[in-house]
C-alpha cells in the first residue's frame, strides 16, 4: 500500500468506546489508511473508563470494519482503561507522547474538556507539536462555553486547537466555495439584487431514543442551530476571503456572525419557532416517552427568520430550520433567486424563479432549477433541474466528512475548523433566545411525528408570501 508523506503521529482518542468513535471516527481513519493517506508510522490509542484489553477493543472494531485488510490496520491500535481527568491514569500512556507529534481527540462530553486538558498538561504530555480536537456542542451558553475555552486554552494555543463541525467537511460545502468564488456567473449574482431569500434545512427522521439524557440538557437550538446551521449560514453568506487560508476564511465567517441582527423579546416571539414532537399518525412514540421523562420543555424543532445587516444581504431573509422526527433525513441549502421583473410568458409564475440547491445529505449534490419550454406546439413553460455534479463524481465514493477533517488535522490545516472568536460570536447571538425561553416559561408547540413541524413554522414563511421547499425534499432519494 502506498503511503502519504505526512509526518508520523499518535492519535489518542478519549471516549474510544462511544458511539461517535465506533460509527464515524475509527471507520474514517480506516478509510484514510485504505487510501494510503496515513504515514507508515502512526498509532491510535483508545482511552475510556470501560474496562477491556487492547485485543478486546480491536475485536470489537473488527466486527464494524468487516474487511480482511483491517487486520493490518488494527495492528496500529491499542487501548487504555483510564479516567481521562486523572493524571496518574494518564501517566500510563506511552512516555514518548510528550516528545512526539500527538493528536488528542476528545470524543467526550464538553464539560470534561477542561479537566482532560489540565490532566494532559500536568502529566507532561502536551508539547508544541501537540494538537487537540474538540467535538460540539462546546458549552450550553456563552458563559459555560467561555469557561470550557479558558480551561482548554490554559494548556493549548489557538493554533493547536481544532474545534470540529463535521458539516464543514462535507464535499458539497467545499463545492459551495468553489462554485461561488471560482465562477463569476454565480458570485456576481450572490447578493440582495438577485437573491430573494435562502433556506437552510437540517432535518432528521430519527427520534431522541437512547440519547434522552443528553438531549434533555441540550435541545435543538444548542445541538444544531448554534453550530451546524450557523456554520452553513456563514459559508453561504461570507465575503470572498483574500486566499484559501485558514484565518482568511474564518475572518470572513466571523464577520457574518457579528452582522447577524440581534434578537430581542419581540423578534424572538415573531421570528423564532420551537416545537416538540408528539406521537405520530402511525403510532410513533412522542418525545417524552423517547427521552424517558414525564413532561419537558426541551425543543426538538427550531425554525427562525434571520437577517444579516450588511450591504450584500440587506433585505434578504435567511430561514433556518432543524428538527427531529421529520418526514425525511436531509440537509440542504436552497438559494432562491428573484423572479424576472416582467415575464412575457403567461404560464410563468413567481414560484418558477431560479433556485440553486446544495444538498449535503443523504445524497450530496448541487441542482439548478430553471424554466424551459415543454416540447410541443404550445409555448408551455415548465421547471427543470440541471445537475451541476459531473457523472464521474456520482460513480465515485464520496468520502465521509470525518475523513476529510481527520486528514486536515493530520496535515495541520485549520481552514474547516471553528476558531475561538467564531464559537463565542455564535453563542453571543444565541444566548438571548435561550434566556427568553427560560424566563418566559412558554412550552414548545407540539407537532406530530412524521410531519414537517409546528404550524407556526409554516406561518413564519407564509407571512412573507413564501413556502418551505418541502416537496423537493420529499422527492429526494434516501441515498
Q: How far apart are CA 332 and CA 162, in angstroms?
A: 25
* Euclidean distance between CA atoms 179 and 187, whole angstroms: 8
Count of helix runs (H) and strand runs (E) in the chain: 19, 15
What are the residues facing 44 on neighbouring strands? 11, 77
Residue partners of 257: CB distance under 8 A and separation at least 6 = 230, 234, 422, 425, 426, 429
Nearest to 259 by CA among 227, 233, 224, 240: 233
Looking up cell 406546439 gives 377
**Within 10 A of 194 (CB to CB), how many other CB atoms are there?**
14
**Cell for 26?**
475509527
* HSE toward the beta carbon, residue 138, CA cutoff 13 A: 31
CB 120 within 8 A of CB 85: no
CA dihedral sign, ordered 94, 111, 103, 149: negative
CA dihedral 186, 187, 191, 195 (to 10 degrees): 10
For 268, phi then psi, to 5°, come to: -65, -45
Q: Is the peptide bond before 137 cis (omega within 30 degrees of 0)?
A: yes
378 within 8 A of 371, measured Cβ to Cβ? no
> How many whole angstroms separate alpha carbon 375 and alpha carbon 195?
29
Question: Comparing C-alpha atoms, which of 367, 382, 390, 374 is closest to residue 472?
Answer: 367
| Residues with active-site annotation | 228
- Name the region of 100 (left: φ>0; alpha: ψ -120 to 50; beta: rest): beta
Task: Pull the grid cell for residue 463.
Answer: 407571512
What's the CA gap between 470 and 466, in Å, rounded?
12
Between strands 195-203 and 161-163, the pairing is: unpaired
Query: Which three cell numbers mark 169?
Result: 467537511
Amino acid at each position: 500500500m502506498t503511503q502519504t508523506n505526512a509526518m508520523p503521529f499518535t492519535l489518542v482518542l478519549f471516549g474510544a468506546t462511544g458511539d461517535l468513535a465506533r460509527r464515524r471516527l475509527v471507520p474514517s481513519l480506516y478509510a484514510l489508511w485504505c487510501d494510503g493517506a496515513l504515514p507508515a508510522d502512526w498509532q491510535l490509542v483508545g482511552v475510556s473508563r470501560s474496562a477491556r484489553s487492547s485485543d478486546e477493543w480491536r475485536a470489537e472494531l473488527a466486527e464494524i470494519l468487516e474487511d480482511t485488510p483491517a487486520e493490518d490496520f488494527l495492528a496500529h491500535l491499542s487501548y487504555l482503561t483510564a479516567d481521562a481527568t486523572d493524571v496518574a491514569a494518564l501517566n500510563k500512556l506511552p512516555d514518548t507522547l510528550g516528545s512526539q507529534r500527538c493528536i488528542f481527540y476528545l470524543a467526550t462530553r464538553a464539560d470534561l474538556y477542561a479537566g482532560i486538558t489540565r490532566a494532559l498538561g500536568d502529566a507532561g504530555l502536551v508539547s508544541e507539536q501537540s494538537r487537540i480536537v474538540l467535538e460540539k456542542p462546546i458549552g450550553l451558553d456563552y458563559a459555560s462555553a467561555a469557561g470550557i475555552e479558558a480551561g482548554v486554552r490554559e494548556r493549548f494555543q489557538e493554533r493547536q486547537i481544532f474545534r470540529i463541525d463535521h458539516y464543514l467537511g462535507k464535499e458539497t460545502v467545499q463545492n459551495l466555495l468553489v462554485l461561488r468564488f471560482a465562477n463569476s456567473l454565480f458570485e456576481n449574482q450572490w447578493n440582495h439584487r438577485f437573491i430573494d431569500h435562502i433556506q437552510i434545512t437540517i432535518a432528521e427522521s430519527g427520534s431522541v431514543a437512547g440519547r434522552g439524557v443528553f438531549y434533555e440538557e441540550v435541545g435543538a437550538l444548542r445541538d444544531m442551530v448554534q453550530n451546524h446551521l450557523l456554520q452553513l449560514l456563514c459559508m453561504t453568506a461570507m465575503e470572498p476571503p483574500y486566499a484559501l487560508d485558514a484565518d482568511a476564511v474564518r475572518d470572513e465567517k466571523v464577520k457574518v456572525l457579528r452582522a447577524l441582527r440581534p434578537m430581542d423579546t419581540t423578534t424572538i416571539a415573531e421570528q423564532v419557532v420551537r416545537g416538540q414532537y408528539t406521537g405520530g399518525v402511525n403510532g410513533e412514540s412522542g418525545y417524552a416517552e423517547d427521552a424517558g421523562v414525564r413532561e419537558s420543555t426541551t425543543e426538538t424543532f427550531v425554525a427562525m427568520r434571520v437577517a444579516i445587516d450588511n450591504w450584500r444581504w440587506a433585505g434578504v431573509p435567511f430561514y433556518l430550520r432543524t428538527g427531529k422526527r421529520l418526514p425525511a433525513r436531509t440537509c440542504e441549502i436552497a438559494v432562491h433567486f428573484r423572479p424576472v421583473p416582467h415575464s412575457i410568458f403567461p404560464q410563468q409564475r413567481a414560484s418558477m424563479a431560479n433556485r440553486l440547491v446544495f444538498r449535503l445529505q443523504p445524497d450530496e449534490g448541487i441542482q439548478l432549477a430553471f424554466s424551459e419550454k415543454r416540447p410541443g406546439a404550445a409555448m408551455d413553460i415548465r421547471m427543470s433541474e440541471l445537475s451541476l455534479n459531473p457523472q464521474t463524481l456520482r460513480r465515485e465514493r464520496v468520502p465521509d466528512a470525518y475523513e476529510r477533517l481527520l486528514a486536515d488535522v493530520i496535515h495541520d490545516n485549520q481552514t474547516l475548523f471553528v476558531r475561538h472568536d467564531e464559537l463565542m460570536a455564535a453563542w453571543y447571538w444565541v444566548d438571548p433566545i435561550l434566556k427568553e425561553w427560560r424566563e418566559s416559561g412558554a412550552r414548545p408547540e407540539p407537532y406530530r411525528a412524521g410531519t414537517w413541524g409546528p404550524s407556526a413554522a409554516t406561518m413564519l414563511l407564509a407571512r412573507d408570501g413564501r413556502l418551505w421547499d418541502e416537496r423537493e425534499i420529499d422527492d429526494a432519494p434516501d441515498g
